[in-house]
Copies of this chain bind each other. A is one copy, B any other.
Amino acid sequence: MTARGQREFFTVKTVSEALTGFRPARRTPVESVSLDDALGRVPAEPLRAPHALPGFARATVDGYAVRAADTYGASEGIPSYLDLAGEARMGRPPETEVRPGTAVAIATGAPLPPGADAVLKLEHTQAATPELLEVLRPVTPGEGMVRPDEDAAPGAELTRGGRPLRPQDLGMLAAAGIVEIPVHTRPRVTIVSTGDELVPAETAPAGAAPGGPAGLPAGAAALPVGQVRDSSAPALAALVREAGGEPHFAGIVPDDREALAATLRATLTLKGSDPSRVVEGSLPESDVVVVSAGSSVGARDETAAAIASLGEPGVWCHGLAFRPGKPTLLADVGGVPIIGLPGNPRSALVVFRLIGIPIVRLVSGCTDPPPEPTVRARLARDLPSAAGRLDVVQVRLSGDEAEPLFGSSSLLSILTAADGYVVVPEAATGLAAGSEVEVMLYR
């Protein structure tokens, strides 16, 4: 037992050390996707404008294309007069020219005729006769229009590399005619659940009534004593999706070193330690492996031993100064990150959100992750903590007050009742009731 305790703490790291120091080399390759499939995908490189945008000078108001100099000095009291010389049509090259002393009717979005350098707003004009326009205010060159390269000059960066594409980015790419977009493939994240007590979520005992008890939902009935449904795998799969990954479930493995090692070997399909290797043939290869471990200390040791048996000195840390993430294991096997999570469902989800999501993003080339929702609130109760250890505490919000939710790490209900969580940083020895905290909100 003493030996076990020592081993657990031998390679303990802080959360900040893990976030900055654990950097497996694996990156997913680049594929081409259509605009329709590009939301949230991560371009490897900046995408640049192939030509000027909008590509021609365009009116931005409804009115008249003019030479600005022809309007100088015009006022409601002493209007200027311009000859009306036709209309600039939407969607086609201008057929008329704006010569000195003339104006051409134009709608928002239409191309400026040659000779014009500004657009007079409709409401600053008045038709004197069908052929003559009264100008009631002057315009300066460039007013009421955009230049041919005002949205983007040729070669201008339209979207950044490393940042998931946002709706407006897709609009910009569409405007430039870039409809096939080179992005990192979604990382394939394999989830392995271990635990002799686990059964798949769809399990109900044989012979269960087709309906539930009166007033309760039909379908699911209590399991034999000792068994629990695997709740972590579906929740982890959802977190993987939120991080832009593609979850794959490798099944439930018993608490047995050999069985786990065999599953890891199969899912890694190790073919050498070149991290840039691309998926070959039909063998599914993992970009990230997540082991949702059995709950006991013994089971955690089995995970470490199974990884050690893969034949690479891959364990980066076995233990984080993190509540509730102490038993977290991080390993790098041939560039592929392996994340060993605590067995308690709540701890597993907390650790994966804090440590796992950044790893999935790293592997997918996402260097500029999207912002997360937060809110400032006042702590309703003291939060004790130990210096040197980071604590994540779920809270429920009520007005501007954050009420901490305490309870066993095995209880998922604390996570479902929570609106978000508070981080007590490593340097703090706790937070006093009444202090202002930043609550990370669950979406």
Q: Which residues of B contact A196 (CB under 8 A)?
A: 89-91
Q: Using a CB-CB cutoff of 8 Å, which residues 234-270 of chain A contact chain B?
A: 234-239, 241-242, 255
B154 near A90: Cβ-Cβ < 8 Å: no
B213 near A154: Cβ-Cβ < 8 Å: yes
Cβ-based interface call for A434 (8 A)? no
* Closest Cβ neighbor of A90 among chain B residues: B196
Cβ-based interface call for A430 (8 A)? no
Report the Cα distance A212→B47, complex, angstroms: 13
Interface residue total, chain A, C-beta cutoff 8 A:
123
Report the Cα distance A55→B222, complex, angstroms: 7
Cβ-based interface call for A442 (8 A)? yes
Q: Using a CB-CB cutoff of 8 Å, which residues 34-79 of chain A contact chain B?
A: 35-36, 39, 47-56, 58, 60, 62
Cβ-based interface call for A319 (8 A)? no
Q: Which residues of B contact A230 (CB under 8 A)?
A: 174
Q: What distance in Å separates the Cβ of A350 from its nearest Cβ neighbour in chain B?
A: 10
Do A146 and B408 contact each other (CB < 8 Å), given the known contacts A168-B415, A216-B49? yes
How many copies altogether?
2
A219 near B412: Cβ-Cβ < 8 Å: no
Report the Cα distance A441→B179, complex, angstroms: 26
B231 near A107: Cβ-Cβ < 8 Å: no
Do A201 and B174 contact each other (CB < 8 Å), given the known contacts A168-B416, A294-B90? yes
Cβ-based interface call for A190 (8 A)? no
A171 near B411: Cβ-Cβ < 8 Å: no
A226 near B50: Cβ-Cβ < 8 Å: no
Q: Which of A52, A152, A175 has the most CB of B within 10 A?
A: A175
Q: What distance in Å separates the Cβ of A136 from its nearest Cβ neighbour in chain B?
A: 13
In-complex Cβ contact of A110 among B171, B197, B216 (8 A):
B197
Of the A-B pairs whose beta carbons lie under 8 Å apart in the complex, a sample of 14, sorted by A's number, is A60-B408, A60-B409, A90-B196, A90-B296, A92-B226, A107-B295, A167-B239, A168-B412, A171-B235, A171-B415, A174-B201, A175-B229, A177-B201, A371-B443
Kindly list 8 other residue pairs between chains A and B, CB separation below 8 angstroms, not including A154-B216, A174-B229: A1-B123, A90-B296, A93-B225, A111-B225, A150-B413, A168-B415, A177-B220, A371-B443
